[in-house]
Amino acid sequence: MPYARVQFTPDMMPSDITGHSILDPSTRELRVVRGPVFTHILLADEINRAPAKTQSALLEVMQEYQVTLEGQPILLPKPFMVLATQNPVETEGTYPLPEAQLDRFLFKVEIGYPSSTEEAAVVVRATADQAGDELPLANVKPCLDTADVLQLQHLTSRQRVDDQVVDYAVRIVRATREYPGLAIGAGSRGALALVRGARAVALLDGRGYVTPDDVKHVALPALRHRVALSPDALLEGRKANDLLSDVITTVPAPRI
């Protein structure tokens, strides 16, 4: 599928992402120049290096799958997804992501350091018989196309979810709003993310129905970016993952 990569920087403007209109000298009419967001897969690299005004350009894109230019909504191609990276180590010259934008990401995946064996394998694969500008990508082959992804999305949406499982996901989200140590709990999009992620887990497991364990499986990546720690929890050095794990333990799962 077509893809685009945007390197976020402090001087980037919203129009650099969504596009803009220019006066066409030949027709003397406004012509829309579409930005890199008009693609299937958009990689927002180091998204926290851009100010909130530029980051907010993705709000309509990620929620309605459209861009409004000159008052006219333009639909994005389907499937469409946004992948974003941020470097938590380099805090200088970065901006916190607005809560409204964080809430629109389905998952937050934390990537730590690899094991010593894996790190040694990376060094060997990246340096053996290769110059610095070469990457060992020859064995990477496409395995899905646009039609396949749309079909998978359709199959995922048809996974059967019992009312008790939906209630379980809602109770987990509501528990984050009152749990000690969490100043801000997850909103309704958190429950949506739990159910959607659980549907995908069930499909990958070859089942046509969702279980409470599927909800637990995606709870941390679906909720860790939707909560904020209280000052006391920050002083104690507690982590969002730890508090969310406690929340999941305290919420009883249904037996179905």
Task: Look at the alpha carbons of 193, 256, 206, 159 in this order and tell me if their dihedral is positive or negative.
Answer: negative
pLDDT at 90: 61
| Amino acid symbol at 70 | E
**Torsion of the alpha carbons at 247, 255, 214 and 179, rounded to the nearest 10:** -10
Mean pLDDT, the chain, integer: 90
Let me know: does 65 contact 75? Beta carbons within 8 Å.
yes
Q: CATH code for 157-256? A: 1.10.8.80
Six token digits for residue 53 = 């005004």
- pLDDT band for 256, please (50, 70, 90 cuts): confident
Q: How far is CA 96 from CA 56, 68, 91, 221, in A?
A: 12, 25, 10, 19
pLDDT in tens, 107-133: 999 988 999 999 999 888 888 877 777
**Which residues in the chain are classed under CATH 3.40.50.300?**
1-105
- pLDDT of 179 over the 90 cut: yes
Helix (H, G, I), strand (E, B) or coil at 59: helix
pLDDT at 53: 85
- pLDDT of 138 over the 80 cut: no
Distance (Å, whole) CA 229 – CA 175 = 14
pLDDT in tens, 27-76: 777 778 889 999 999 999 999 888 888 888 899 999 999 998 878 899 99
Query: Is the domain covering 1-105 a CATH 3.40.50.300 domain?
Result: yes
pLDDT in tens, 146-159: 999 999 999 999 99
Query: Between 4 and 23, whose confidence is greater?
Result: 4
**Which residues in the chain are classed under CATH 1.10.8.80?**
157-256
- The rounded percent of the chain whose pLDDT value lies above 70 is 99
pLDDT in tens, 191-241: 999 999 999 999 999 999 999 999 999 999 999 999 999 999 999 999 999
* Residues near 245 by beta carbon (within 8 Å), at least 6 away in sequence: 220
